[in-house]
Structure 1
Amino acid sequence: MDDSARRLLQRLIRRIPAQMLKPTLDKWDRLTAAHRQSMDFTESKWALTEKLLAICEENEMTVKHITELEMIHVIENPDHSMWYALQLVDPEDDAHSVELTQFKEQFKSHLRELIRHVSIKIKKHTDEAVWIRIAWGDSFSRPNHLKPTYVVHHLQTPYVFVTSLTSKLKPLLSQALVLSTRYQAIKDASLSGRKLTAIRDLLMRQYQQVFPTKYPSSLVENNQNASNILINKEQAELAASRHQKACEAFGDGMLPQLQSAVYKLETKFRDHTNKTMTEREEAFRCVVKFASTNLLESLRHCASSGISSTPGTSLLSSIPLKGRNYFVITDNGPGPSSQTRQPPN
């Protein structure tokens, strides 16, 4: 067991919470039942790390084996990083027929043609998502397994989710993805967040949507509570209408737990009382950010309860409608316009 494998294992064990260490190791098929039984999980993290290092040394485990354990942990706990959504565009005729084996072979082949030293591990999860772990090197250095990039792609869909990807390496990954999925190009989907399932569900419309109807009574019946009985008919109709419009804008039932939305303004300043700012030729620039533990739920509640007006502004309803949480607003046209944003290094 070399130094790189040892450092990777030490760092990984520090990242895994103590209560999750045993179930994580149980899913790792590199330890025998006797090895697992010899570990006392009531001991300190330091003692457990030393014990695990000794077992790995004895069995001559390599970086390859340790990265398998890391992937188990990351797949089970994806919300520890910031994820960015990408969208493949212009599919070729056979794009929807790409199978896992074909994708794995071509992705590895294309990426290794672009960069000399790279380590790639691909695993299919139980929800049909393909998880890719990439440790990057360059022409002179070996892959750095301490700073891997993770990529999640659902085959037969145009969506890709990435984390820990620098702007320097993004073109290499993009080219390998385009070639191996049979698409013409890939673009930033202007959607990011720490909850992978939330941005995935938002893009793939995997939540209960509500469409405009002249008969909103079904929603009223499903969401009626005791207080509604005490209000008069007019108030009940107004409440039902607000709730219907709120659900049309943001969805019904459990919503994806999106945590933020960013609006970058590049517009002219308009205020007749402030000529200094209004007469400026340069655009007025500012950034507005909405944040919540569940932003869509918060916006729906504000509209449904009457805190905000209904129907809601298109700037906010565009989040679920367009599957984005980053918008650039300019004077060039009506409504929000999205522009490409590069993930930070």
Structure 2
Amino acid sequence: MDDSAKQLLRLIIRRIPSNKLYSTLRKWEHLSKKQFESLDFTQPKWLICDNLLSLCEENDLSAKHVTELELIHRIEQPTQGAWHVCQLIDAQEEALTSDLLQFRESFKLHLKGLISHVAVKIKKHEDDAIWIRIAWGDNFTKPNHLKPTYVVHHLQTPYVFLSGLNVKHKPLLHQALVLATHHESIKDVHLSGRCLTALRDLLMRQYKQVFPVKHPRPLQERSPLLTHPNIENEHAKHAENRLQMASEVFGDGTLPKLETALYKLETRYRGKERGTMGAREEPFRGVVRFSSSNILESLKYCTSSGMAAAPVTPLLSSIVQKGRNYFVITDKGPGLSQTPGPKV
């Protein structure tokens, strides 16, 4: 076991929470039952790591085996890093019948045809998601296992989730994905976050939605009211309408966990005065960022409680309707540069 493999193993063990170390190593399956039982998980983590290194050297394990442990850990803890979403465009006929074996062989073949030194590890998870770990090198250096890229993809779906991908390797990975999945191209959908499950649920609509109705149910069908003064009845009707509008936009159950929503502004001053600001040709530029432990739940609460005006503005409803959390807002007047990106 060389020094780079030892360094990688120590790094992985440090990242794994102490209460998850036992279950993660058990899934690794590169230690015999006797070796695994010899590890004392009540000891400090550094001591467990030293004992584990001795067992790995005894079994003549290499960096290839260590990366399997990291992949298991990342599948169990997908929030340890930011994810960005891309969408595959124009599926070919073969895309509907592609299986894991075909995808694995095709992806490795195309990626290794684009770059000489690259290490690829592919594993299918219980939810049928294909997890890919890529360690990048180049024509002269070996793959760097300390800074891998992770890819998650469900076959027969157009979405690909990426983490740890730098600009240099982006076109290589995109080309390999397009060829292996039998599509024509791939694009960024401007959706990102740390919670992989939330991004997937938002794009695939795997949360409880409520569809708009032309004639909302009367108030008494939901919560029969006793005799109330007219003013209380009016307030109750307004509250009911707010709940209905919030549910139509954000659904009626637990929402996907997004942490941020970002709006890039490129707009012209619209005041009546034609002074210095009104005569300005260039648009005003700025960034508005909403942050919360769950931005969708926060927006839904603001709407249903009356803290935000209803109906919900398209600037906010577009998060769930378009499946993205990055927007560029521009004027459509003449003379303004159009910045690439999704526009509201």
Q: TM-score, normalised by structure 2?
A: 0.93
Question: What is residue 331 of structure 2 aligned with on the other side?
Answer: 331
1:224-279 CA-to-partner distances (Å, cap 9, x unmatched) read: 6999x998332222111110101111121000001100000111122345822221
1:314-335 CA-to-partner distances (Å, cap 9, x unmatched) read: 00000000000000011128xx
The 3-state SS of whatever aligns with 1:257 is: coil
- 1:212 maps to amino acid: P
- Identify which range, 147-156 or 275-284, moves more after superposition: 275-284
Change (3 A) 1:250 1:219: farther
The 3-state SS of whatever aligns with 1:78 is: coil
User: Post-superposition shift, 1:126?
Assistant: 0.4
The 3-state SS of whatever aligns with 2:112 is: helix
Question: What is residue 256 of structure 1 aligned with on the other side?
Answer: 256
Question: What is residue 48 of structure 2 aligned with on the other side?
Answer: 48
User: Post-superposition shift, 1:31?
Assistant: 1.3
- Identify which range, 57-66 or 274-283, moves more after superposition: 274-283
User: Post-superposition shift, 1:221?
Assistant: 6.7
1:152-187 CA-to-partner distances (Å, cap 9, x unmatched) read: 001000000000000110000000000011100000
Question: What is residue 23 of structure 1 aligned with on the other side?
Answer: 23
Question: What is residue 80 of structure 1 aligned with on the other side?
Answer: 80
The 3-state SS of whatever aligns with 1:142 is: coil
- Identify which range, 301-310 or 28-37, moves more after superposition: 28-37
Equivalent pair of 1:123/1:132 in contact (CA under 8 Å): yes
Distance 2:280 2:320 in 1: 35
- 1:135 maps to amino acid: A
The 3-state SS of whatever aligns with 1:108 is: helix
The 3-state SS of whatever aligns with 2:186 is: strand
Question: What is residue 208 of structure 1 aligned with on the other side?
Answer: 208
Residues 42-191 of structure 1 mapped to structure 2, 5 A cutoff: 42-191=42-191
Equivalent pair of 1:120/1:135 in contact (CA under 8 Å): yes
Question: What is residue 6 of structure 1 aligned with on the other side?
Answer: 6
Distance 1:257 1:55 in 2: 40
1:107-153 CA-to-partner distances (Å, cap 9, x unmatched) read: 00000000000000101100010000000000000000000000000
- Identify which range, 14-23 or 174-183, moves more after superposition: 14-23
Question: What is residue 306 of structure 2 aligned with on the other side?
Answer: 306
Equivalent pair of 1:85/1:189 in contact (CA under 8 Å): yes
Unaligned runs of 5+ in 2: none
Distance 1:25 1:339 in 2: 46
Distance 1:57 1:46 in 2: 17
Distance 2:143 2:122 in 1: 16
Question: What is residue 277 of structure 1 aligned with on the other side?
Answer: 277
Distance 2:165 2:81 in 1: 11
- 2:120 maps to amino acid: I
- 1:205 maps to amino acid: R
1:6-43 CA-to-partner distances (Å, cap 9, x unmatched) read: 11101100111111111111111111221121111111
Equivalent pair of 1:149/1:164 in contact (CA under 8 Å): yes
Aligned residues: 337
- 1:176 maps to amino acid: A
Change (3 A) 1:35 1:300: same
- 2:276 maps to amino acid: T
Distance 1:328 1:97 in 2: 37
Change (3 A) 1:220 1:313: farther
Change (3 A) 1:220 1:243: farther
- 2:260 maps to amino acid: S
User: Post-superposition shift, 1:338?
Assistant: 9.0
Distance 1:152 1:338 in 2: 29
Distance 2:77 2:273 in 1: 53
Residues 198-237 of structure 1 mapped to structure 2, 5 A cutoff: 198-217=198-217, 232-237=232-237
- 2:241 maps to amino acid: S
Change (3 A) 1:214 1:237: farther
User: Post-superposition shift, 1:53?
Assistant: 0.4
Q: TM-score, normalised by structure 1?
A: 0.92
The 3-state SS of whatever aligns with 1:276 is: coil
How much identity, in percent, do the aligned residues show? 57
Equivalent pair of 1:219/1:244 in contact (CA under 8 Å): no
Equivalent pair of 2:219/2:237 in contact (CA under 8 Å): no
Question: What is residue 239 of structure 2 aligned with on the other side?
Answer: 239
- 2:263 maps to amino acid: Y
The 3-state SS of whatever aligns with 1:150 is: strand
